[in-house]
Amino acid sequence: MVAAASMVVAVGSAAGMMSAFDDGRGSDRAGPAMTRRAVVRPLPVPPSTPAEPPAASVTPSPTRPSSAAPSPAPATSTRKPTTEPAPARLYRHPDAQVLDWIAAHPDDPRRAVIASRIADRPTAVWFADPSPSTITARVRAVTSDAATEGRVPVLVPYAIPDRDCGGASRGGAPDLAAYDAWIDAFAAGLGSGEVIVILEPDSVAQSDCLTEGQQADRFASLARAGRVLKAADRRARVYYDGGHSGWNPATKQASLLDQAGAGSPEGSDGIFTNVSNFQRTTDEIAYARRVLADLGGPASLGAVIDTSRNGNGAPADGQWCDPAGRRIGQAPTLTTGQARIDAYLWVKPPGESDGCKGTAGVFSPSYAYDLAR
């Protein structure tokens, strides 16, 4: 990954993970082709569900690199963003930072635009605290609430060791054994309903800071994580880190994904792209299809694309930190009308800063307003 991409991941990740831990108010956030295949690790005995108190709110933020070769950015469009109703099946978490801001600022002149074009959309829920003591209850709080509403939650586990390669979103579990235990506890909270899991943004595309042996070990844990999650909930759909169209070439990304188990239906439903980034949806569709073709595996494998901030594409100057002139993109939906593209999702909550228009991971009303208007 290029330097610019690394920096984006660093702060981008940091920027959205705030609500994923400390009751949703904590801080912290959200490689070369290998010749070795990851060693297959055995699945655990299904973990017992610990008796934990109800989880507090979880509000996330993403981590995505900015494009190495961004698409030329057109002049800021004056068109209004999509305003169609949010899909009935995607879950909107009630404890999102944007909702807190709206409730606290009834007279702010920006409120109506932010409320109607961002707050009304379902976004992903991030989990970045590597401590397993409350993770089961936190996941269960989201999945059970979604099940009650008859909706599909989007969950983002973000606790892989050496997260963000020591960048601004550094952190994660202390080692892979601890991570495996964390994933077991995470899976115990899934329940039996339909759920979408965006497994560890940056963990595959940004693995080049690791040695070959460390990469193989990480990929083994990721492959195991997919199997654990799908074994715990047969209706869970698990997607692996596909980077984005301005990062690794499709062939290289597919090779890394193959080592991480993304081509095996036992633990994977496909890939995700563009998390916390700005690449145009059309570019991501073409890129995702190339990666899937190179990855192989069954034709049932698909892709999901983060469209939260890509309405105007990537900035021409390669800016990654809250760049000006960006716009929210396609509204979240599970119906794309595109072959092998399973969903457009808002994985990065729009308005949560990368660190330039506010504190990384914290909702910035000025940034949200710029994206929405």
Give me the mean pLDDT over the 231-254 stretch. Answer: 98
* Structure confidence by residue, pLDDT tens digits, 212-238: 999 999 999 999 999 999 999 999 999
Query: What's the pLDDT band for 169 if we cut at 50, 70, 90?
Result: confident
Query: What is the full DSSP assignment across 285-347?
Result: HHHHHHHHHHH-S-TT-EEEEE-SSBTT-S-TT---SS-TT-B--SPPBS---STTEEEEE--
Report pTM: 0.80
Minimum mean pLDDT range among 30-39, 111-120, 210-219, 257-266: 30-39
β-pairing, 154-157 with 195-199?
parallel
For 116, half-sphere exposure in the C-beta direction (CA atoms, 13 angstrom radius) is 11
Alpha-carbon span 118 to 124, nearest angstrom: 13
Alpha-carbon span 371 to 373, nearest angstrom: 6
Average pLDDT, the chain: 82
CB-CB contact of 130 with 172 (8 Å): yes
Distance separating the N- and C-terminal Cα atoms of the chain: 32
Is 70 exceeded by the pLDDT of residue 123? yes
**Annotated catalytic residue: which of 28, 342, 354, 370?**
354
Is 90 exceeded by the pLDDT of residue 11? no
Query: What's the pLDDT band for 85 if we cut at 50, 70, 90?
Result: low
Query: What's the pLDDT band for 88 if we cut at 50, 70, 90?
Result: low
Alpha-carbon span 5 to 36, nearest angstrom: 25
**Annotated catalytic residue: which of 95, 129, 184, 202?**
202
Could you tell me which residue, 364 or 49, shows the higher pLDDT?
A: 364
* Structure confidence by residue, pLDDT tens digits, 89-118: 999 999 999 999 999 999 999 999 999 999
Alpha-carbon span 217 to 325, nearest angstrom: 40
Sheet containing strand 236-241, edge to edge, reads 125-127, 154-157, 195-199, 236-241, 270-273, 302-306, 341-345
* Structure confidence by residue, pLDDT tens digits, 39-55: 334 444 433 333 333 33
State which H helix or E strand residue 147 sits in: helix 135-149
Is 90 exceeded by the pLDDT of residue 33? no
- Would you call 354 a catalytic residue per the annotation? yes
**Annotated catalytic residue: which of 28, 95, 129, 164?**
164
Residue 274 corresponds to which tokens in the numbers above? Answer: 């563009």
Give the pLDDT of residue 359.
Answer: 84
Alpha-carbon span 292 to 279, nearest angstrom: 18
Give the pLDDT of residue 103.
Answer: 98
Is 80 exceeded by the pLDDT of residue 131? yes
Alpha-carbon span 24 to 57, nearest angstrom: 5
Give me the mean pLDDT over the 2-30 stretch. Answer: 36
Give the pLDDT of residue 17.
Answer: 41
